[in-house]
Amino acid sequence: MLGTLRRRIARLAFAVGAGAMMSCLVAVLAAMCWVPTAATGSRGSGRVHRSGDVEVISLSTERTLWVRYDTYLVFCARFDDPAAIDRGLDAAAQWLDVSEVDCTEEVAVIQCGWPLPAFRGVALPSRMLGTEYEHAVRLRPAPASGRHTQFRMIPLQPLWLGLLVDSSFFAALAVGISAIPWCRRRARIRRGLCPSCAYPVGDSSPCTECGWTMATAPQRPTSTAITPQNPHRRTANE
Ligand SMILES: [Zn+2]
């Protein structure tokens, strides 16, 4: 009983760990693989909506908000939570209409993750020092020239809701995958087959093919269950 409980806790911990790892990995890969085709000003496969001084590029695993520096500062002053800042900028892209965007004064807010953005990072332009990065590891710019290839980074600031949703998603996936052998064993038992080797055994407990017994291996056939009695049992049944 205690052993079963311990096994379940271990399995749950594994699923949670795997889920968190996968969500981080997806976010990092999304950030590293992101190379917008910016040489001509277009964005390749990304969905773009632009209104005045905020621009949003949505890829499946990665979102970039291009925003004027002064607008960015206004939203930073208004909200404490990074997720709220990004939501505000995103919403602003729908209604703001300020023309004349100065490229050298643009801030790039990059969000990464799937199904929801789980991390964010910010590239701030600085005339004196070059671009500064907040909550991010800078990556080498993409080979194609253009302003949109300059701000490549791996975002590090967690967006907690997105991280929670992504981790749960991948944890559920890990649980589903790890349950496949168990489901297969159950299905074999229902069909009167040996759960270990799929030999048709009917109701007889020790398998004549591999020696699997209900008594010695209730959960999963192990090598100790198979070894000593196997040859003996086989001759007895024959
Ligand atoms: Zn068997």
pLDDT in tens, 177-190: 888 998 999 999 88
- Is there a contact between 67 and 55 (Cβ–Cβ < 8 Å)? yes
Mean pLDDT of 88-108: 61
What does the alpha-carbon distance between residue 17 and residue 167 come to, in Å, rounded to a whole number? 8
Which residues are bridge partners to 107 per DSSP?
Answer: 67
* Res. 21: pLDDT tops 80: yes
Instruction: Give me the residue spans of the domains in the chain.
Output: 11-171, 191-237
- Phi (first) and psi of residue 226, to 5 degrees: -90, -40
* Res. 100: pLDDT tops 50: no
pLDDT score of 163: 93
- 202 pLDDT band (50/70/90 cuts)? confident
pLDDT score of 160: 93
Token pair of 39, please?
């040489």
pLDDT score of 221: 46
Residue 98: partners with Cβ closer than 8 Å, 6 or more residues away: 52, 53, 68, 71
What does the alpha-carbon distance between residue 162 and residue 168 come to, in Å, rounded to a whole number? 10
CA of 11 to the centre of ligand 1 (A): 26
Write down the pTM of the prediction: 0.66
Torsion angle of C-alpha atoms 4, 5, 8, 13, degrees rounded to 10: -140
CA of 221 to the centre of ligand 1 (A): 9
Q: Report the alpha-carbon angle 25-28-34, nearest 5.
A: 135
CA of 193 to the centre of ligand 1 (A): 8
CA of 205 to the centre of ligand 1 (A): 10
- 167 pLDDT band (50/70/90 cuts)? very high
* Averaged pLDDT score across all residues of the chain: 74
Q: Sort strands 132-134 and 62-68 into parallel, antiparallel or unpaired.
A: unpaired
What does the alpha-carbon distance between residue 40 and residue 18 come to, in Å, rounded to a whole number? 40
Q: Among the listed ranges 27-41, 169-183, 207-221, which one has the minimum average pLDDT value? A: 27-41
What does the alpha-carbon distance between residue 153 and residue 105 come to, in Å, rounded to a whole number? 18
pLDDT score of 73: 85
CA of 207 to the centre of ligand 1 (A): 5
pLDDT score of 111: 85
What does the alpha-carbon distance between residue 156 and residue 153 come to, in Å, rounded to a whole number? 9
